[in-house]
C-alpha cells in the first residue's frame, strides 16, 4: 500500500519560483537623530518622499540628519494659531472683559445670587 501513495510537496509550503534574475527595487538608507543623540536608520524606496521627522520605536521624535526635506518642511509650516489668538483677531481685551462681566451678571441673576 505504501508504494502506491502519492509523493509531492505540501500545498502552500514552498514556492516553485526561484529568485534568479529578480532585481529588488532601488533603495536609499536615511539617517535620523533624536535630541538625545540616538541614531536611527530607515530604508526607503529611491523614489519615495523622505519625511523630515521620524518617530522611533521608543516613541521619540527623530529629525532628518542630511537632506533638503528638513529645510522645505520647516519653511512650509504655518505658525500655530490658538483659540485665544483667533479670538483677539475679532475682539479687543476690553470688549472681552465687558462681555465676561455681562455674562457673569446674567448667570448670578439666574441663580438668584446677589452681587
- Write the DSSP string, 34-66: ETTS-EEEEEEETTSPPPSEEE-TTS-EEEESS
Q: What is the tens place of the pLDDT at every residue in 92-106?
A: 999 999 999 999 999
- Taking residues 45-69, report their average pLDDT: 85
pTM score, whole prediction: 0.43
**Cell numbers describing residue 103:** 455674562
Condensed to tens digits (0 to 9), the pLDDT of residues 7-42 reads: 666 666 677 777 888 888 899 999 999 999 889 999
pLDDT at 77: 73
Greatest Cα pair distance in the chain: 104
Amino acid at each position: 500500500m505504501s508504494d502506491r501513495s502519492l509523493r509531492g510537496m505540501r500545498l502552500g509550503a514552498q514556492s516553485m519560483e526561484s529568485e534568479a534574475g529578480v532585481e529588488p527595487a532601488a533603495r536609499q538608507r536615511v539617517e535620523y537623530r533624536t535630541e538625545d543623540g540616538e541614531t536611527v536608520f530607515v530604508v526607503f524606496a529611491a523614489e519615495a518622499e523622505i519625511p523630515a521627522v521620524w518617530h522611533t520605536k521608543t516613541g521619540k521624535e527623530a529629525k532628518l540628519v542630511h537632506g533638503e526635506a528638513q529645510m522645505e518642511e520647516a519653511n512650509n509650516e504655518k505658525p500655530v494659531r490658538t483659540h485665544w489668538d483667533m479670538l483677539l483677531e475679532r475682539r479687543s481685551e476690553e470688549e472681552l472683559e465687558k462681555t465676561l462681566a455681562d455674562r457673569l451678571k446674567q448667570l448670578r441673576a439666574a441663580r438668584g445670587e446677589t452681587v
